[in-house]
Structure 1
């Protein structure tokens, strides 16, 4: 944490410090460019500054502090105070929260994604998991179900996924692998080049990322209803920096999370409303897979991958079944509340 000191000086022989006021400045590591995926971080910075009269500021860096796959490492050593990362980038470093990346969880809305994410983040196992990296889970970056853009003939049957080279991470990558596709986990910033050079045929992203990283500009078709899952991308803070905040600063930060998320949801909702117009403008064909094909995909990928994940977690001493059950119960409770 960087503290800026302002002082009055006297004109006597030498300089004398007669008064000072401290301002807290945090560095925040994200990547790419400002987009729907980062709007809650931007809003959080605005709210925190407003609530502290500018005495606590978040300086957001888009790639200037760290590579996206190294943000958790940077948090662990205190290279910066806040960062965004995606669980699928390094599953071994954050195994507990990869429950949220399991395929076909049945999450239907961004609000449901927020609910299940924050429920898992609040679980002791997840907090203990991230504490190994001196990281405190602050908020999620909710994304809708991923779908793929591709080149060539549209793929509207599971059999056509065989040997398809797809940019997909985490549970989504495992789901595609289960039906014979060949997933690669190139980062979001590398996806366009991978598509352009032919390293991949297709790219799995949420809508904002297809726009932000330009993959929609290479696309000839887009699956509108595949919905294999999503990626979970938390915003975390360095624990030491968080504990070093004053009570007022900590309150300003914590109390701003819900409003920042609400702003994100509203902004993302506006993007989704114009998505069909984007597809039409760019001449991208919308592909709707028949329900029988979707059912075949789920049968092949969902249950086996979930059961293996639970088994793997339990072997590491992580309560995999409990975490999965928490997601299911949270979904039920959220829907009942609505």
Structure 2
């Protein structure tokens, strides 16, 4: 009799667990504060929780879990399940995605940035490299072309960049170096202090970061049309954690990516629409460099840096030319579809 009651109790418990589902809680490491750059992560967490009736939740931590430059390392050891990082923080660990940080590759809006990023993320060589860090690329954090803010007299000619100390990482840093500037890769969180203390003269950021990290508050001018390129900052998940999800929870995560990106694009679009108002409010001069100066910048930075990058990748048995061609082909398809 006792055995029968025990069996009934266990059956009831199993049925209860099955009906309630298995609770899954992920920790997500980002940095700074909630801003346009993290809105897709916040939206993803919201959508996943909704789709699973609260069974799958994500705790988004702004710097409480890891330093931003250590997020990929900590994903690799499973310290948390999801993280954001930028390729320029550790180019040797994510060589293949740095194709997206080459200067002047011609991306003109956020939709194109999403298209080229996700095409590159889907390439087998890219996935294989990221798997070495136990990381699966989930989605990008699309950013517009970087532009610089500075103090003092505006830099309106390429000659003005000679000796200019600029906060710029990755391919952008190389581009500025090619025209005589001195790049430094202080983190985004350190940029304001670096500018305030005179460690750098100028800071290259997308608009949201100039706002979030306060560099716009020190600026007297902003280059509206320099557009040398941008940085690529993926959202990755720990492969073991991803594969350990139930089919239902994995579907909830995968199916929420497109909607999270759409939310990000809508939110960022509103910020860009108000950017001129921000400049006026803060009394920041909008600088437009002459086309001949921009052409000279592209001639010095674009072709030589691209050729060097491709040669370097091929020397490491990575498909550099193929990845660059993929970016160009994706841009062409994206524009044709629109």
Match runs of 1:15-54 below 5 Å:
20=17, 22-54=22-54
Partner of 1:284: 284
Unaligned segments of structure 2, at least 5 residues: 1-12
In structure 2, distance between residues paired with 1:199 and 1:139: 34
Question: For 1:75-122, what per-residue CA distance to the aligned partner results, in whole angstroms no more than 9, with x for missing partners?
Answer: 000000000000001000000000000000000000000000000000
* Deviation, structure 1 residue 299: 0.1
* Deviation, structure 1 residue 161: 0.2
In structure 2, distance between residues paired with 1:156 and 1:119: 35
* Deviation, structure 1 residue 234: 0.2
In structure 2, distance between residues paired with 1:218 and 1:135: 38
Partner of 1:125: 125
Partner of 1:158: 158
Partner of 1:230: 230
* Deviation, structure 1 residue 147: 0.1
Match runs of 1:62-101 below 5 Å:
62-101=62-101
Matched, 1:253 2:256: no
In structure 1, distance between residues paired with 2:58 and 2:317: 36
Question: For 1:105-146, what per-residue CA distance to the aligned partner results, in whole angstroms no more than 9, with x for missing partners?
Answer: 000000000000000000001101100100000000000000
TM superposition outliers: structure 1 runs of 4+ over 6 Å: none
Matched, 1:146 2:157: no
In structure 2, distance between residues paired with 1:232 and 1:31: 15
Matched, 1:171 2:167: no
Please state whether the residue corresponding to 2:50 is helix, strand or coil: helix
Matched, 1:201 2:201: yes
* Deviation, structure 1 residue 281: 0.3
TM-score (normalizing by structure 1)? 0.94
Question: For 1:137-178, what per-residue CA distance to the aligned partner results, in whole angstroms no more than 9, with x for missing partners?
Answer: 000000000000001110010111000000000110000000
In structure 2, distance between residues paired with 1:300 and 1:317: 27
Question: For 1:35-92, what per-residue CA distance to the aligned partner results, in whole angstroms no more than 9, with x for missing partners?
Answer: 0000000000000000000000010000000000000001000000000000001000
Q: What is the aligned length? A: 322
Please state whether the residue corresponding to 1:237 is helix, strand or coil: strand
Partner of 1:13: none
Partner of 1:104: 104
* Deviation, structure 1 residue 297: 0.1
Please state whether the residue corresponding to 2:136 is helix, strand or coil: strand
Answer 1 or 2: which has greater helix percent: 2
Matched, 1:322 2:319: no
